[in-house]
A and B are shown apart, each in its own frame.
Chain A
Amino acid sequence: MGRIWAVAKNTIRQALRMKVAAIFIVLLLVLLPVMGLTATGDGTLMGRLQTFLSYGLSLTSLLLCLLTIIVASYTITSDIENRVIYMVATKPIRRHQFILGKLLGVVLLDIGLLILFAGGIYATVKLLPRFQDASEAEIAQVNSEFFTARASLVPPVLDVTEEVIALYQEKEDQLKQVYSSLTQAEILNELTIRKRLEKRAAAVGQGVLWEFENVKPLGADESLYVRFKYDVAETPADNQVYGRWQIGDLRQMREGTEIKTYIASEDRKDPLRTFREIEIPASVVADDGYLAVGYINPPLNRTVVLFPLEDGLEVLYRADSFTANYVRATLVILCRLIFLAVLGVLAASFLSFPVAILFCLVVFSIGSVSGFILEAIDLMDANIGMIYEYTIEMVVHMLPRFDKFNPTKFLVPGRLLSWSFLGSIVVSMVCVKAFLLLILSLIIFSFRELAKIIV
C-alpha cells in the first residue's frame, strides 16, 4: 500500500506541477463566478438558480472529465515515453501497484477538485437568493420547487397488447387501407399508442383515475404536488380547460365506509398544454402508501380531455433535502470521473499519448450522446438497423451512458436523485464497466515490454 500511495502522491504532484490541472482549475475559477453573474435565465430567481446550477455543474463536470482523461493518460504515457519507467519499474513495485497508484492519484485529484468546485457551486446557489431582490412568492416557489428533492410518481405504462391485436384482427382490411404506407409492425405500434392514450382520456362527463402505491412523503405536514398537462381533441376558444380533481385514498368512497383520511377536492380552470401543479397536504396519502388521483371532465369543456403519454401527469412529493440530493448528484459525477480515469489508464497502458487521448475522447463523446445514437438506430430501416444492432449498438451499450445519468436533469427541476439510482450507476459504471477495463489494463500493462527497442 505504501508503494501505491507513493505513486499516487507523485501523480497528484505531477498533475499540479506540470500545469495540466492548473489550466483547468484557473478556467473554472474564472468561468464559474462569471457565470454566477451573467446567468440570469428568465429573469426570475428560480430561472437564475436553475441556469447557474445547470451550466455551472455541467461545465465543472465536462472540464473535470477532460482533465481526468488527460491526466490519466499523460501520467502513464509520459513515464513510458520519458523512460522514467525504467527507474520505477526496476524498483520493488509490481506493475499493477504502479497502475493502481496512478489511478488512485487521478481519482484523489478528481475528488479534491470536485469537492472544491461542487462546493463552490453549492455555496453560490444557497447564497444567491439572499443577494437577489426576490419577492416572497419567488422565494416560496424556489423553496418548494428548487431547494428540494421531489420524488416523482408517474402512472405505469399500460399493457394493451391484447386489445391491440384484437382490434387489428377485427379491422385488418380497413387499417391496411388507412395506413397503406406502413408495415404491419408500424400499424401495431400506432394502434398501441392510440390505445394507451385512450386510457388517459376523459370524455365529457367522464373521468380518469390513477392509483399509486408506495407514496412516502417525508412527513404528513409536507405538501404533495400533482403536476399535469392537458391536451384536448378540440381546442376551446380561450385555450382553457376545466377540471374537477379528487386526490386521496379514494378506496374509502368506493367502499362506502367512514372517511378516515382527508380527500382533497378542487375545481380548476387551467391553460392548455402547459404544466400546472396542484398543491395538497401530504396527509391525503393513506397509511399504507396508497394514493389515488381522479380527474373528472366537466360538461363545461365540451371536448375530450387527455393527458399526454410522456408527461401528462405525475405526482411529486418532497422525499429528501436539496443538500442530500446535491451530494448524490456530485457522486454521480464522481462515478463518471472514475470511469474516465480507468479508461485513460487503459488507453495509456498500450497506446501513446495522442492516440490514447483520441481513443478516450471518442469513447467519452459516444457515451455523451448514446441516447441519440440508440434512438437513431431504432428509427432505421429494419434491415440496415440489424447491422447496427450487432455492432454500434452493442458498443454503445457497453459504454456508460453519460447523457442518461446526467445529474443536472434531476437538480434543475428539483427531482429526487435516489440512492437506488445512484447505486445502479455505481454498480454499472464503476463496479462492472470500470472494473473490467481496469482488469484489462492491468493485464496489458503487466505483460507488455516497458523498454523501447534500441539497438
Chain B
Amino acid sequence: MDYAIETISLTKIFSDWWGRAKVYAVDDLNLKIRPNEVFGLLGPNGSGKTTTIKMLLGLLHPTKGHALLLGGQGADPKINTRIGFLPEESYLYRFLNARETLDFYGRLFGLTPDVRKMRIEALLEMVGLKAVARRPVGTYSKGMARRIGLAQALINDPDLLILDEPTTGLDPIGTRQIKDLILKLAERGKTILLCSHLLADVEDVCDRISILYGGKVQSEGRVGDLLRQADKRQITTGAISEKALAKIQKILNEEGVGCDVTSPMEKLETFFIDTVVEAQQQAKPTSGAVSTTDIGEFLTAEESQGSILDRLASTSEPELAPTGDLKTEEVEPVEVATPQGNQDLLSDLVKPDSGSETEQVDSTAAADLAAPKGPKPTEVPDVKKNVLDALMGGDATPDATTSAPQEPKKDGESGDG
C-alpha cells in the first residue's frame, strides 16, 4: 500500500571534520505512516525526532536509506504543495507583520490573491492574532509566534501536516485548540505526523505512536493497545451514597478483586480556563493573542477544496464566518470534548471584550460555540485527560500573553497592537 510517510533504513550519521562518524542521530529507521493517520513520534530530547523530520523534508541529506513523503521526495515542490510543516520553533521574518508573513507563504504556494486573502483572514481569526496582525512578528511572544507558525503551516490546506513540538510555548487554550485541530483535520482525511515529548498531547490525539531512543525505534503501536491495562477496570459514577458504595464493595469482594474509591479532582485545564474567562469578563485588555477555539473554516469544510475556496473567495466578506446564506458549511463549532459546563466557558472566552482594545470576535462564531449544532464525531477522545501533565511537562508552562492576570507586563509593547 502507499504510505503517507515511509522511511527505509533511514540513517543519519554526523561526522566530524575528518569524516569520522561521531553521532548516529537516526539509525536504520523504518517508519510507515498510513494515510489519514495521526502518528506520534515520541522520544526524549536528542532522540532523533527532529533530525528525522528534517530528512523527510529534504533539509538534511540522509547518510543512508530513503525518506518518502506522499510517495515522493520531500524536496520536490509538487510534494511540498501538499505539506504543512511547523518546525520545533517558529522561525519567522522578524520584520514582517503577521498578515505579510502569511501572504508571503501563500505566494510561495502559488495561491491566487482571492484565496490567499480569504485564508489569511480565516487563519488570523483562528489563531487569535487578528488584532495584532499589523505588528512585526519580531515583537511577538513565543506563544504568539507559535500561533503564526501554525497558521503558515495550514495556509495551503495540506494533506500531510508535520508538526514538530506544536504546543511548545502555547497556553492551555492554544494547546487544546491545536489538539482539536488535529482531530478535525484527521476527520477530513488528512495525515498528521506529530513529533513531541509532551506525552499528554500525543496520547490525546494520536492513533499510533513510535518511541525513539538513540535514533532507533524502541516501541511502536496503537496508543490504545500500548496503554490498555487489560487486567483492570474503571467505573465512574455520580455522587452515590455510602450505603450503595458498601454494596458495590461487597459485590467486588465476592468477585475476589479489591477497589479504590476516590473523588475525582477537577482538571487544571478547566480551572485555568475558568480563570481566564473571569478575567475576560472583567474586560482586562491584552496585547497578546486572543483566545479563541475557532478553527479556520477552509480547514474544516467537508467539501472538496476547490469548490469551497472558489466560492468563499467570491463572497464579499470572506473572512467572516458565513451564517445565513452558507448553511452547508457553517463554521463547525469546536468539539469541546468536555463536560457541558466547559463549553459555556469556552464560549465566554470568545465573547467580545467590551472596553478592550483587542480584537472583537465575530459574534456569530461565538453564538455557534455557545450552542453547537454541527455534527459531532462519536469517537472524540477525552482531551482533558492528563492536562496536568501537558501543562507541567517540558516547557509548556502557561503562556503569559493570553492570560489576562499577567497582562500588565505586556502593556509596554501594546502600543502598536
Binding site for B on A (CB under 8 A): 2-3, 5-7, 10, 13-14, 17-18, 82-94, 449-451, 453-455
Q: State whether A91 touches B109 (Cβ < 8 A).
A: yes
CB proximity to A under 8 Å, residues B86-113: 87, 89, 91-96, 100, 104-105, 107-110
Q: State whether A90 touches B46 (Cβ < 8 A).
A: no
* Chain B residues closer than 8 Å to A89, beta-carbon distance: 57-59, 75
Of B23, B51, B92, B95, the contact of A17 (CB 8 Å cutoff): B95
* Chain B residues closer than 8 Å to A14, beta-carbon distance: 93, 95
Q: How far is the CA of A5 from the CA of B91 in the complex (A)?
A: 21
* Chain B residues closer than 8 Å to A6, beta-carbon distance: 104, 107-108
Q: State whether A455 touches B48 (Cβ < 8 A).
A: yes
In this assembly, does B77 line the interface, its C-beta being within 8 Å of a C-beta of chain A? yes
Minimum Cβ distance to chain A for residue B138 (Å):
10
* Chain B residues closer than 8 Å to A10, beta-carbon distance: 93, 96, 104
Q: State whether A455 touches B80 (Cβ < 8 A).
A: no
In this assembly, does B188 line the interface, its C-beta being within 8 Å of a C-beta of chain A? no
Q: State whether B14 touches A93 (Cβ < 8 A).
A: no
Q: How far is the CA of A13 from the CA of B25 in the complex (A)?
A: 38
* Chain A residues closer than 8 Å to B96, beta-carbon distance: 10, 13
Choose among B14, B100, B108 the residue with the greatest number of A CB atoms under 10 Å from its CB.
B108
Q: B80 — nearest CB in chain A belongs to which residue?
A: A92
Quick one: CB contact mask for B99-140 with A, threshold 8 Å, 1 for yes? 010001101111000000000000000000000000010000
**A6-B104, A82-B91, A449-B59 known; A90 and B85 CB under 8 Å?**
yes
* Chain A residues closer than 8 Å to B50, beta-carbon distance: 454
Q: State whether B104 touches A83 (Cβ < 8 A).
A: no
**A90-B85, A451-B54 known; A2 and B110 CB under 8 Å?**
yes
* Chain B residues closer than 8 Å to A90, beta-carbon distance: 57-59, 74, 80, 83, 85
Q: State whether B87 touches A83 (Cβ < 8 A).
A: yes
In this assembly, does B367 line the interface, its C-beta being within 8 Å of a C-beta of chain A? no
In this assembly, does B21 line the interface, its C-beta being within 8 Å of a C-beta of chain A? no
Q: State whether A87 touches B95 (Cβ < 8 A).
A: no
Choose among A3, A18, A90, A454 the residue with the greatest number of B CB atoms under 10 Å from its CB.
A90
Minimum Cβ distance to chain A for residue B369 (Å):
31
In this assembly, does B61 line the interface, its C-beta being within 8 Å of a C-beta of chain A? yes
Q: State whether B105 touches A91 (Cβ < 8 A).
A: yes
* Chain B residues closer than 8 Å to A450, beta-carbon distance: 59
Interface pairs A-B: 3 shortest CB-CB: A6-B107, A92-B77, A451-B59
Q: State whether B51 touches A93 (Cβ < 8 A).
A: no
Minimum Cβ distance to chain A for residue B136 (Å):
8
CB proximity to A under 8 Å, residues B63-82: 74-75, 77-78, 80-81
Of B78, B87, B95, the contact of A92 (CB 8 Å cutoff): B78
Minimum Cβ distance to chain B for residue A5 (Å):
8
In this assembly, does B245 line the interface, its C-beta being within 8 Å of a C-beta of chain A? no
In this assembly, does B191 line the interface, its C-beta being within 8 Å of a C-beta of chain A? no
* Chain B residues closer than 8 Å to A449, beta-carbon distance: 59-61
Q: State whether A3 touches B60 (Cβ < 8 A).
A: no
Q: State whether A86 touches B59 (Cβ < 8 A).
A: yes
Q: State whether B91 touches A84 (Cβ < 8 A).
A: yes
Q: State whether B23 touches A455 (Cβ < 8 A).
A: yes
Q: State whether B93 touches A84 (Cβ < 8 A).
A: yes
Q: How far is the CA of A93 from the CA of B79 in the complex (A)?
A: 11
Q: How far is the CA of A7 from the CA of B74 in the complex (A)?
A: 21
In this assembly, does B286 line the interface, its C-beta being within 8 Å of a C-beta of chain A? no
Q: B215 — nearest CB in chain A belongs to which residue?
A: A455
21 A-B residue pairs with Cβ-Cβ distance under 8 Å, sorted by A, are: A3-B107, A3-B108, A6-B104, A6-B108, A10-B104, A18-B95, A83-B91, A84-B91, A84-B93, A85-B59, A85-B91, A87-B87, A89-B58, A90-B58, A90-B85, A91-B105, A92-B80, A451-B54, A451-B59, A454-B51, A455-B46
**Which bucket holds chain B's interface residue count?**
35 or more
Q: A98 — nearest CB in chain B belongs to which residue?
A: B108
* Chain B residues closer than 8 Å to A82, beta-carbon distance: 91, 94
Minimum Cβ distance to chain A for residue B158 (Å):
11
Q: B87 — nearest CB in chain A belongs to which residue?
A: A86
* Chain A residues closer than 8 Å to B358, beta-carbon distance: none
Q: State whether A92 touches B110 (Cβ < 8 A).
A: yes
* Chain A residues closer than 8 Å to B46, beta-carbon distance: 455
Of A86, A91, A454, the contact of B108 (CB 8 Å cutoff): A91
* Chain A residues closer than 8 Å to B81, beta-carbon distance: 92
In this assembly, does B152 line the interface, its C-beta being within 8 Å of a C-beta of chain A? yes
Q: State whether B14 touches A455 (Cβ < 8 A).
A: yes
* Chain A residues closer than 8 Å to B105, beta-carbon distance: 87, 91
Q: State whether B51 touches A455 (Cβ < 8 A).
A: yes
* Chain A residues closer than 8 Å to B109, beta-carbon distance: 91-92
Choose among B48, B50, B81, B110 the residue with the greatest number of A CB atoms under 10 Å from its CB.
B110
Minimum Cβ distance to chain A for residue B58 (Å):
7
Q: State whether B91 touches A87 (Cβ < 8 A).
A: yes
* Chain B residues closer than 8 Å to A88, beta-carbon distance: 108
Q: How far is the CA of A87 from the CA of B102 in the complex (A)?
A: 12
* Chain B residues closer than 8 Å to A455, beta-carbon distance: 14, 23, 25, 46, 48, 51
Q: B24 — nearest CB in chain A belongs to which residue?
A: A455
Q: How far is the CA of A18 from the CA of B96 in the complex (A)?
A: 10
Q: State whether A13 touches B23 (Cβ < 8 A).
A: no
Choose among A82, A92, A94 the residue with the greatest number of B CB atoms under 10 Å from its CB.
A92
Q: State whether A94 touches B92 (Cβ < 8 A).
A: no
Q: How far is the CA of A450 from the CA of B108 in the complex (A)?
A: 18
Q: How far is the CA of A7 from the CA of B57 in the complex (A)?
A: 20
Minimum Cβ distance to chain B for residue A337 (Å):
23
Minimum Cβ distance to chain B for residue A349 (Å):
15
Given A83-B91, A92-B78, A455-B51, 5 more pairs with CB closer than 8 A: A3-B108, A6-B108, A14-B95, A18-B95, A84-B93
Minimum Cβ distance to chain A for residue B84 (Å):
9
Minimum Cβ distance to chain B for residue A2 (Å):
6
Q: How far is the CA of A88 from the CA of B152 in the complex (A)?
A: 10
Q: How far is the CA of A14 from the CA of B136 in the complex (A)?
A: 12
Q: State whether A13 touches B95 (Cβ < 8 A).
A: yes
* Chain B residues closer than 8 Å to A92, beta-carbon distance: 77-78, 80-81, 108-110
Q: State whether B78 touches A451 (Cβ < 8 A).
A: no
Q: How far is the CA of A146 from the CA of B266 in the complex (A)?
A: 88
**A2-B110, A82-B91, A454-B51 known; A87 and B85 CB under 8 Å?**
yes
Minimum Cβ distance to chain B for residue A137 (Å):
55
* Chain B residues closer than 8 Å to A454, beta-carbon distance: 50-51
Q: How far is the CA of A82 from the CA of B92 in the complex (A)?
A: 8
Of A3, A5, A84, the contact of B92 (CB 8 Å cutoff): A84
Of B60, B74, B77, B152, the contact of A87 (CB 8 Å cutoff): B152
Q: How far is the CA of A2 from the CA of B100 in the complex (A)?
A: 16
Q: How far is the CA of A88 from the CA of B149 in the complex (A)?
A: 12
Q: B48 — nearest CB in chain A belongs to which residue?
A: A455
Choose among A18, A94, A450, A455 the residue with the greatest number of B CB atoms under 10 Å from its CB.
A455
Q: A454 — nearest CB in chain B belongs to which residue?
A: B50
* Chain A residues closer than 8 Å to B92, beta-carbon distance: 84, 87
